Amino acid sequence: MHPEVIQDHPGVCPKCGMDLVEMEQAGAAQPEHSHGVHLDTASQQRFGVRLAAAKWQMLSRDIHTYGNVVADESLIFNLSAKVEGVIKKLHVNSVGQHVRAGQVLYEIYSPELVKSQNEFTELLLQKDRILEPMDTDDAHTSNKPMPADDMIDLMVNTKGRMLVRDRLLYADVGNELIDELIRTYRSRDVVEIRAPQSGFITKIEVHEGSTVKPMDNLFSFASLSRVWVEVPLYPDQLAWIKEGDEAAVKLPQSGLPEIKARLQSITPVVDSATRTARARMSVSNTRNSLPLGAFLDVIIHANPHEALAVPRSAVMRTGKGDLVMLAGGNGHFTPAKVETGVETADLIEITAGLQEGDQVVVNGQFLLDAAASMSDAAQRLHSAQ
């Protein structure tokens, strides 16, 4: 720490109490950063010196970017009209509205549906006439088997009712209308059409009073139980990532935990306007916590590999390269030049300059390097005299 203190025998510095380091002979080779420093245990504690070992660990380059929530195309459902008619009332009026399976979407007047209801009620009445003799209270006839002709008529009637019932259900009227017809034997002029599945409305293409015909698209809605997260990437980032890399996504300022996912597709085309390519990952969204269009914080753990690593705080960035303070044992510390690679939040890869098990200083290394530099300067000055 005090390079001006020079004597011709071993001892301690009268100013700071540190052990004196033997000076190299004049003319000896002096490679860059060959100087070192010695600290006793008490001095190390005063400086707050802490050590860590270089060891092999799995590292990956963290790419911090953002993502945009979009609907999964495979879960988008288009609801079209099944019959011709006039829309009397809409029960869904806005994009983004959540729809449950079986919920009424609109009411329609359709002569075709009225005809199908009348057919169904006629078949119900016919069934009752066939079964009427079986319901008599006459003890002499109640136990008689059904005549063969009536049995055949009942089978034909049952098949007819099933066909009409399927035709009505195909029109998305739901079981509610069927149950009502069975209970009341009365058809309805205006029929409620129900959602065949749950989802969020993404498009409305019909209005009250509109005339529709089969195959006309009326609504589009998507299930958000699983969504895509689209991530823009710059060309220099594409070299680092590949399909299957793990990523963490989080909705900012939401308090929700981050979600783990993996990249599933990376487009090889760079958009001419944004100068970015697009990567996509599928994310579970069973609680609908990720709304469509939301921006997410994304961290991609790219290029995972095993590497020799030390804590990031151990590496000193200087104008002459990256250095670490290498512990040589018995309180001796020497600056060592290293080459670095991938960095994470806590670790940094060492590609050259260290071996597994080497102890490096992770706290107080700048003080040690300054002391070593001053000691080296004193040695050079003494050698020049």
| Structural domain spans, the chain | 37-60+305-384, 62-71+226-304, 73-222
pLDDT recorded at residue 12 = 73
- Statement: residue 218 has pLDDT above 80: yes
- Average pLDDT rounded to a whole number, residues 36-45: 70
Pick the CATH number of 37-60+305-384 from 1.10.1740.110, 3.40.640.10, 2.40.420.20, 3.40.1590.10: 2.40.420.20
- Within a 10 A sphere around the Cβ of 259, how many other Cβ atoms? 18
pLDDT digits (tens, 9 = 90+) for 142-154: 566 778 888 898 9
- Average pLDDT rounded to a whole number, residues 166-190: 94
- Largest separation between any pair of C-alpha atoms in the chain: 139
CB 117 within 8 A of CB 197: no
Both structure tokens of 141: 């006839």
- Average pLDDT rounded to a whole number, residues 3-19: 66
3-class SS of residue 45: helix
- Statement: residue 73 has pLDDT above 70: yes
pLDDT recorded at residue 139 = 45
Q: What percent of the chain has pLDDT over 90?
A: 33
pLDDT recorded at residue 36 = 64
Spatial separation of the C-alpha atoms in residues 179 and 175, rounded to whole Å? 6
pLDDT digits (tens, 9 = 90+) for 244-278: 888 999 888 877 888 899 998 888 888 888 888 89
- Statement: residue 138 has pLDDT above 70: no
Nearest Cα to 82, choosing from 262, 204, 187, 217? 217
Spatial separation of the C-alpha atoms in residues 381 and 101, rounded to whole Å? 87
Specify burial of residue 379 (Cβ count, 10 A radius: 0-12, 13-18, 19+): buried
Spatial separation of the C-alpha atoms in residues 53 and 334, rounded to whole Å? 15
pLDDT recorded at residue 325 = 82
pLDDT recorded at residue 31 = 37
Both structure tokens of 94: 């806005």
Q: What dihedral angle (degrees, nearest 10) is formed by the CA atoms of 7, 8, 10, 16? A: 0
Q: pLDDT-based confidence at 6, cuts 50/70/90?
A: low
Give 12's DSSP letter: B
- Per-chain mean pLDDT for the chain: 82
Question: What would the CATH number be for the domain defined by 62-71+226-304?
Answer: 2.40.30.170
Fold of 73-222: OB fold (Dihydrolipoamide Acetyltransferase, E2P) (2.40.50)
User: Is there a shared CATH topology between the 37-60+305-384 domain and the 62-71+226-304 domain?
Assistant: no
Q: pLDDT-based confidence at 2, cuts 50/70/90?
A: low
- Average pLDDT rounded to a whole number, residues 314-338: 82
Q: pLDDT-based confidence at 30, cuts 50/70/90?
A: very low
pLDDT recorded at residue 384 = 47
- Within a 10 A sphere around the Cβ of 330, how many other Cβ atoms? 8
Q: What dihedral angle (degrees, nearest 10) is formed by the CA atoms of 186, 189, 193, 194? A: -30
- Statement: residue 27 has pLDDT above 50: no
Spatial separation of the C-alpha atoms in residues 226 and 75, rounded to whole Å? 8
Q: pLDDT-based confidence at 136, cuts 50/70/90?
A: low
pLDDT recorded at residue 159 = 95
- Average pLDDT rounded to a whole number, residues 123-136: 84
3-class SS of residue 127: helix
Give 384's DSSP letter: H
pLDDT recorded at residue 92 = 92
Residues, the chain: 385
- Average pLDDT rounded to a whole number, residues 216-221: 93
Both structure tokens of 9: 């025998």
pLDDT recorded at residue 378 = 46
- Statement: residue 334 has pLDDT above 50: yes
Q: pLDDT-based confidence at 240, cuts 50/70/90?
A: confident
CB 2 within 8 A of CB 13: yes
pLDDT recorded at residue 24 = 46
3-class SS of residue 276: coil
Spatial separation of the C-alpha atoms in residues 351 and 269, rounded to whole Å? 33
Q: pLDDT-based confidence at 360, cuts 50/70/90?
A: confident
- Average pLDDT rounded to a whole number, residues 338-353: 84
Query: What is the helix (H) or strand (E) element at residue 300, kind and residue range?
Result: strand 295-311
- Average pLDDT rounded to a whole number, residues 180-205: 93
Exposure string over 265-290, b if 16+ CB within 10 A, otherwise e? ebeeeeeeeeebbbbbbbbebeeeeb
| Predicted TM-score (pTM) above 0.75 | no
Cα 328 to the center of its chain, rounded Å:
46
CB 269 within 8 A of CB 238: no
Both structure tokens of 272: 């001419």
- Statement: residue 20 has pLDDT above 50: yes
pLDDT recorded at residue 26 = 35
Spatial separation of the C-alpha atoms in residues 239 and 112, rounded to whole Å? 61
